Amino acid sequence: MHTLPQQLANGLFLGSMYGLIAIGYTMVYGIVQLINFAHGEIYMTGAFGALAIYTNLPSSLSIWAALPLMLIGGALVSVVIAVGAERLAYRPLRNAPRLAPLITAIGLSLALQQAVFNWYPDAKSGKRFPQLPGGPFHIGSVDVQSGDLFLLGAAVICMLALGIFVRSSRTGRAMQATAQDPDTAKLMGVDTNRIIIIAFAIGGFFAAVAGLASGLKYGQIQYNMGFQAGLKAFTAAVLGGIGNIYGAMLGGLVLGIAEACATAYIANVPGMEQFGGGAWAQVWAFVLLIVVLLVRPQGLLGERVADRA
Amino acid sequence: MTALLEVEDLRVAYGKIEAVKGISFSVDAGQVVTLIGTNGAGKTTTLRTLSGLLKPVGGRVRFDGKVLTRVPPHKIVALGLAHSPEGRHIFPRLTIEENLKLGAYLRKDTAGITKDINRAYDLFPILGERRKQAAGTLSGGEQQMLAMGRALMSQPKLLMLDEPSMGLSPIMMQKIMATIVELKAQGTTILLVEQNAQAALSLADQAHVMEIGTIKLSGTGQDLLHDEGVRKTYLGED
């Protein structure tokens, strides 16, 4: 169970989840220099949106047929909330001191948690989430669940698509330009407000995918699942270099693997027996973050901010 | 014939400080008009207001017959008014080619865009040699060429150049000015803001001297080149 390949696999799946959520943090920061503290709740509401669809579908429908509908439902909720937040809460504060939208984001995060807690039927404790049939699969010496495969597949597809979109499409280029120099982007004819909305929407969609995948993997969702996942994903984004999309993916992966390996191996180091296991995994993940930032403050793939005249 | 650009009593303020205090001038199609003056005269503020990045507090701007108040910058570009900003502002982490493509952001004719990109490389061969290089690695002069090439990609009716010679070596400055002369020969309408008064006045049809927010003197480029006051203040003659 605690073999290296198994831990790496666990880390890979965990990392995919963090990466998907981290993309939302990094895209928003890259384009409007805002840490969207409500993004964890966008992930959470996406999961609840997917569950709501599932609960209202006829029970004769197989989970496979329900899956695309659940994704659409979850994505709708996440994207509407993300874009709504930008339009109504963050945009009016675009020229305010930096602290103002930050506080708004925290307030929004709390509001969303409480909204689900109070209004989603029986959400005060965890809600059961359907799981995918089949598995566990044995690939080599590694055990893999269906939910894990879904997560990995979805993450890979999303990230490849995003990479291609940003690098090769006209809108992707406009997004890069807006992130680097919004005023000059406007001089190119770019509607920067629209570009910003697209960034929020993409982040929201990815969070919804992660929310659905999380539900499928763990078999349950809670109103406060966004807090810890959001914190980890934000850490992943910073670790990889905040603002850098590839950094978010890499940071997610590194964090996931570090967490999985810390769970398994730290306890084997003589003298460190009490510092292993699940409880300490989080600690080691953050220790890793601190070490990386001490050595490389801009994150793994981040750039030092220095432009030529 | 109505002018392509008409500026009427334009006033621009930063909070309580009025940077442009009611200036009026016009640019006819095919002309090169220049605004010269020292730092802080309000020249850059004027251009940024014309392209929509700043909102005036008074006065009126008409471009190609349309009034520009309240029109956002990305729509002003669509009308045919291009602005190559002070300090170049190329997109540093995009390649030269991607920068040029962004200049053509509003265009849909892929074949035409490719043709114009190649024309930019004809105009500025060094850009062609480095087309896949990140724009942030270019020298000041090369970035200026890129900024001009990029502004031309939208096939503007009027091209506004803000301090193209700023921070450039004398050789580079000459090259840039020669390029502007060539653009003028091709019929491009240009509004040029420059600190290098000698160069600007030599190639301008119409010139205006700005001083702390107002236009102090106007005339043809040649007239001002030989004006006593201008020679003393801006051309370093004694």
Structure tokens at A234: 């934000």
Structure confidence at residue B205 as a pLDDT band (50, 70, 90): very high
Distance CA A141, CA A1 (A): 9
pLDDT tens digits along B39-53: 889 999 999 999 999
Cβ–Cβ gap B98/A187 under 8 Å: no
Statement: residue A263 has pLDDT above 80: no
The answer, for B87 touching chain A at a CB cutoff of 8 Å, is: yes
Please report the number of interchain residue pairs, chain A to chain B, with beta-carbon separation below 8 angstroms: 77
Select from A275, A278, A241, A238 the least CA-distant residue to A259.
Answer: A278
The full set of domain ranges for chain B reads 5-87+157-234
Helix, coil or strand: residue A243:
coil
The answer, for A170 touching chain B at a CB cutoff of 8 Å, is: yes
The full set of domain ranges for chain A reads 4-225
**Pairing state between β B189-194 and B158-162:** parallel
pLDDT tens digits along B42-86: 999 999 999 999 999 999 999 999 999 889 999 999 999 999 999
Q: How far is B215 from chain A (nearest CA, A)?
A: 26
Statement: residue A292 has pLDDT above 70: yes
Distance CA A236, CA A26 (A): 9
Structure confidence at residue A309 as a pLDDT band (50, 70, 90): very low
DSSP class of residue A223 equals: T
For B108, residues 6+ apart whose C-beta sits below 8 A from its C-beta are: none
Cβ–Cβ gap B53/A187 under 8 Å: yes
pLDDT tens digits along A63-75: 999 999 999 999 9
Burial A197-215 (b: 16+ CB within 10 A, else e): bbbbbbbbbbbbbbbbbbb
Tell me the average pLDDT of chain A: 91
pLDDT tens digits along B91-129: 999 999 999 999 999 999 999 999 999 999 999 999 999
Cβ–Cβ gap A187/B85 under 8 Å: yes
pLDDT (mean) for A155-160: 96
For residue B142, which residues of chain A lie inside 8 Å, CB to CB? none
Mutate to test the interface with B, among A184, A195, A246, A303 (most CBs of B within 10 A): A184
Burial class of B80 by CB neighbour count within 10 A (0 to 12, 13 to 18, 19+):
middle
pLDDT tens digits along A123-137: 888 999 999 988 788
Q: With beta carbons less than 8 A apart as the criterion, state whether A232 and A39 touch.
A: no
ipTM of the complex: 0.94
Residues A281, A152, A81, A172: is their CA dihedral positive or negative? Answer: positive
Report angle CA B159, B164, B166 to the nearest 5 degrees.
Answer: 155
The answer, for B92 touching chain A at a CB cutoff of 8 Å, is: yes
Q: How far is B157 from chain A (nearest CA, A)?
A: 14
Q: With beta carbons less than 8 A apart as the criterion, state whether B180 and B190 touch.
A: yes
For B170, residues 6+ apart whose C-beta sits below 8 A from its C-beta are: none
Q: With beta carbons less than 8 A apart as the criterion, state whether A46 and A75 touch.
A: yes
The answer, for A168 touching chain B at a CB cutoff of 8 Å, is: no
For residue A305, which residues of chain B lie inside 8 Å, CB to CB? none
CATH class in words for B5-87+157-234: alpha beta
Q: With beta carbons less than 8 A apart as the criterion, state whether B206 and B34 touch.
A: yes
Structure tokens at A197: 């909305």
Cβ–Cβ gap B89/A184 under 8 Å: yes
Cβ–Cβ gap B140/A308 under 8 Å: yes
